[in-house]
């Protein structure tokens, strides 16, 4: 859902007369940290689906610590850009996902496939399903939806808004 939010927001920003160069307002070093944290999370999700591989099993053994590292990197990337208003939505979304992870043994429960017994904060689990005819069927959390909104709003704020002129440079 994040990729869709980025692409849609860039297209709408350009239609609204926004400029891509205004995206330079973001703290460059913090964006690299943020992207690294997100890549680590996608890596964990990708390798979790691979089975019967000794190398993968060793990595999966340390998934909790890798997730903690990725969240630390993401939070640092967000915190370094807090003067930008829409970045707060990203922070709220990641905090909600982090709460779901920590309170449920480092997994986000899938409430569409499982019962809600013994699940802390069931509203924060995978509860929102996008299915066909949507081209990329998936199940999302409330935090994921807020993050997607935050990504969309951030790109719109930077491309079209007057934040570029306010001097957010760090």
Mean pLDDT of all residues in 95-102: 92
Residue 7's CB is within 10 A of a number of other CB atoms, namely: 11
Task: Return mean pLDDT, the chain.
Answer: 85
Give the pLDDT confidence of 19-57 residue by residue, as tens digits: 988 888 787 788 899 889 989 988 887 777 776 667 677
How far apart CA 170 and CA 166 sit, in angstroms, is 12
Structure token digits, residue 136:
């990329």
For the stretch 52-83, pLDDT in tens is 667 677 777 888 899 899 999 999 999 998 88
Q: What residue ranges do the domains of the chain occupy? A: 1-24+83-164, 27-80
Q: Which two tokens stand for residue 132?
A: 């066909």
Mean pLDDT for 133-148 is 88
């Amino acid at each position: 859902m994040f990729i869709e939010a980025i692409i849609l927001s860039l297209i709408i920003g350009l239609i609204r007369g926004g400029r891509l160069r205004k995206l330079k307002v973001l703290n460059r070093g913090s964006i690299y940290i943020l992207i690294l944290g997100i890549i680590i999370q996608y890596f964990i999700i990708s390798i979790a689906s691979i089975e019967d591989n000794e190398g993968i099993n060793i990595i999966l053994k340390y998934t909790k610590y890798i997730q903690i590292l990725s969240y630390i990197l993401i939070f640092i990337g967000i915190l370094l850009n807090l003067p930008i208003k829409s970045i707060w939505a990203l922070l709220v979304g990641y905090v909600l996902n982090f709460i779901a992870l920590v309170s449920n043994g480092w997994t986000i429960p899938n409430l569409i496939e499982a019962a809600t017994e013994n699940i802390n904060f069931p509203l924060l689990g995978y509860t929102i399903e996008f299915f066909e005819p949507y081209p990329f069927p998936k199940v999302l959390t409330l935090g994921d939806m807020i993050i997607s909104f935050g990504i969309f709003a951030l790109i719109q704020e930077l491309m079209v808004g007057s934040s570029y002129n306010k001097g957010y440079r760090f």
